[in-house]
Amino acid sequence: MRLSKHIDENKDAALAAWTLIQKHCKPFLKDWMPIVKSRRYIPYLYRGMDTLMEVGTRKTRKDRRPSQSSTDFHNAIDDLMFKKFKIRGRSSTVFVTADIDEAYGYGQEYLIFPIGKYNLLYSPEIQDLTVVAHTKYGYTHDTSLALSKRIKKAGISLKDVDGIEKLTNTMHQDNEKAIKKIIKTYKKNDLKGAIDSQNEIMLECDSYVYLRGNWQDELDKLIKESL
């Protein structure tokens, strides 16, 4: 009896989500459903979050602050993304991925569907920007520590103000070059490419529908019935 009740609740959650998605996520469905029809499986967008209800809607934060990267890096990337794409990718988007395992690393996995008009940014080369910025592109997050190491390596005296200033300027210039290289790899509004990349996706939307990952199989059935 408990198992039967649990299954019914699953169906109710999936049905509630699908009803919300069909009503409020039409721009996304227009782009996503042709991709769904071309696959043997349904390629969802996932997000790892603190546990919420099984299904619901949530507003997108527009003032996101960095949790793992430096504020300088966060702001510099944000400004250049806005300059090139008119999207503040680091501060005003929802981070999602088509890789459920990657989402699971950040919390309970949820299926995400943007409500109304949406945009997205992703890089086919970058799975996690904070990590790759340093390991692949040479961006220095901790400039104070890096400067101390460069001073020691160059054998410069702490009294050599000009020498330290030159090293500081060089490091900032290297960081600017790294950020510009990073930005060049990003693409806008290529949903299929973003899904296929399995990388981090920055989803710009005012709000979104979420469904707890446990109900994915039931949602699969409802979507397949609508095809």
Summarize pLDDT for 127-182 with one digit per residue, the tens. 989 888 878 887 876 666 666 777 667 777 666 666 667 777 777 888 889 999 99
d(CA 163, CA 176): 20
Nearest Cα to 209, choosing from 84, 116, 77, 108?
116
Average pLDDT over residues 10-17: 84
What is the per-residue DSSP string for 140-176?
-S-HHHHHHHHHHHHT--TT-HHHHHHHHHHHHHHHH
pLDDT digits (tens, 9 = 90+) for 186-216: 999 999 999 999 999 999 999 999 999 999 9
What was the pLDDT predicted at 210? 97
Contacts of 166 (CB under 8 A, 6+ apart): none
What was the pLDDT predicted at 138? 77
Q: What is the DSSP letter of 89?
A: T
Nearest Cα to 213, choosing from 100, 113, 95, 115?
100
d(CA 4, CA 185): 49
> How many percent of the chain have pLDDT more than 90?
65
d(CA 92, CA 185): 20
Look at residue 114 and give its three-state secondary structure: strand
Q: What is the DSSP letter of 1?
A: -
Stated pTM of the model? 0.85
